[in-house]
Amino acid sequence: MNLKASFLYAHRIIFSHNASSRHEKRSILGAVFCIALSLIPLVTVIGVSNGMINGMVERMINLSTGDIRISVDDKDLNLSSQNDFNVLVDEFKNIKGVTSSFGEIDGVALASANSYRTGIYIRSVGKNHFSENSEFAKLFQVVEGTSSLQESRSILLSKKSAEILGVHSGDTVRVVTVKSGKKNSVTPKSYQFKITGIVSCGYQELDALWAFISIDDGFQIIPEESRSFYISLGTEHTFDFELERVRKDAVSAAEKNNLYGSYVETWKELNASQTENFNSTKTLLLLIMILIVLVAAVNISAAIIMITMERRKEIAILKCLGGTCSGITMSFIFTGMFCALAGIFTGIPLGLFACVNINSIIIALEKTVNFFGAAVSFLKTGNTSSYSAVKLLDPAYYIQVIEISIPWMQIIFTAVLTLVLSFIVSIIPSVKAGKEKPLETLRKV
Dihedral sign from CA coordinates of 161, 165, 168, 169: negative
Mean of the pLDDT values across residues 36-49? 86
Q: How confident is the model at residue 443 (pLDDT cuts 50, 70, 90)?
A: low
Higher pLDDT, 26 or 444: 26
Q: What is the pLDDT of residue 395?
A: 60
Q: What is the pLDDT of residue 399?
A: 66
Cα within 13 Å of Cα(176), Cβ side: 10
Q: What is the pLDDT of residue 14?
A: 78
Q: Are 76 and 259 in contact (CB under 8 A)?
A: yes
State the Cα–Cα distance between residues 344 and 338, nearest whole angstrom: 10
Q: Are 259 and 73 in contact (CB under 8 A)?
A: yes
Q: Is the pLDDT of residue 183 over 70?
A: no
Interstrand relation of 263-266 and 68-72 (parallel, antiparallel or unpaired): antiparallel
pTM of the model: 0.75
Neighbours of 400 (CB within 10 A): 16
Most confident of 85-99, 176-190, 307-321, 367-381: 85-99
DSSP codes, 143-194: EEE-----STTEEEEEHHHHHHHT--TT-EEEEEEEEE-GGG-EEEEEEEEE
State the Cα–Cα distance between residues 216 and 43, nearest whole angstrom: 50
Q: What is the pLDDT of residue 123?
A: 94
Q: Is the pLDDT of residue 165 over 90?
A: yes
Higher pLDDT, 56 or 403: 56
Interstrand relation of 186-200 and 141-145 (parallel, antiparallel or unpaired): antiparallel
Mean of the pLDDT values across residues 334-343? 89
Q: What is the pLDDT of residue 244?
A: 92
Mean of the pLDDT values across residues 296-320? 79
Burial 409-445 (b: 16+ CB within 10 A, else e): ebbeebbeebbebbbebbeebbeebbebebeebeeee
Residue 115 φ/ψ region, left for φ over 0, alpha for ψ in the -120 to 50 degree band, beta for the rest:
left
State the Cα–Cα distance between residues 265 and 230, nearest whole angstrom: 11
Higher pLDDT, 215 or 81: 215
- How many Å separate Cα 215 from the centre of its chain? 33
State the Cα–Cα distance between residues 327 and 267, nearest whole angstrom: 58
Residue 383 φ/ψ region, left for φ over 0, alpha for ψ in the -120 to 50 degree band, beta for the rest:
beta
State the Cα–Cα distance between residues 147 and 396, nearest whole angstrom: 22
Q: Are 418 and 39 in contact (CB under 8 A)?
A: yes
Burial of 279 (0-12, 13-18, 19+ CB in 10 A): exposed
Closest by alpha carbon to 154, among 165, 145, 163?
145
State the Cα–Cα distance between residues 279 and 14, nearest whole angstrom: 41
State the Cα–Cα distance between residues 156 and 23, nearest whole angstrom: 67
Q: Are 160 and 167 in contact (CB under 8 A)?
A: no
Q: Are 208 and 254 in contact (CB under 8 A)?
A: no
Q: Is the pLDDT of residue 199 over 60?
A: yes
The CA-atom distances, in angstroms, between 170 and each of 119, 146, 356 are 20, 10, 38
Q: Residue 125: which H helix or E strand, with range?
A: strand 116-125
User: Each residue of 423-442: pLDDT tens digit?
Assistant: 888 888 888 877 777 666 56
Higher pLDDT, 404 or 42: 42
Most confident of 163-167, 204-208, 298-302: 163-167
State the Cα–Cα distance between residues 113 and 157, nearest whole angstrom: 12
User: Each residue of 216-240: pLDDT tens digit?
Assistant: 899 889 888 888 889 999 998 988 8
The CA-atom distances, in angstroms, between 71 and each of 74, 136, 251 are 9, 19, 11
Q: Is the pLDDT of residue 206 over 60?
A: yes
Q: How confident is the model at residue 111 (pLDDT cuts 50, 70, 90)?
A: very high
State the Cα–Cα distance between residues 234 and 251, nearest whole angstrom: 15
Q: What is the pLDDT of residue 375?
A: 84
DSSP character at residue 389? P
Identity of the amino acid at 162: A
Mean of the pLDDT values across residues 352-362? 87
Most confident of 3-17, 74-88, 127-141: 127-141
Q: Say which range, 257-266, 385-394, 415-424, has the weakest mean pLDDT.
A: 385-394
The CA-atom distances, in angstroms, between 321 and each of 86, 316, 318 are 89, 9, 5
Mean of the pLDDT values across residues 361-367? 84
State the Cα–Cα distance between residues 216 and 129, nearest whole angstrom: 13
Helix 325-356 vs helix 408-434: crossing angle, to nearest 10: 150
DSSP character at residue 21? G
Higher pLDDT, 176 or 377: 176
CB within 8 A of 171, min separation 6: which ones? 113, 194, 195
Q: How confident is the model at residue 79 (pLDDT cuts 50, 70, 90)?
A: low
Mean of the pLDDT values across residues 64-69? 91
Q: Residue 9: which H helix or E strand, with range?
A: helix 3-15
Q: How confident is the model at residue 120 (pLDDT cuts 50, 70, 90)?
A: very high
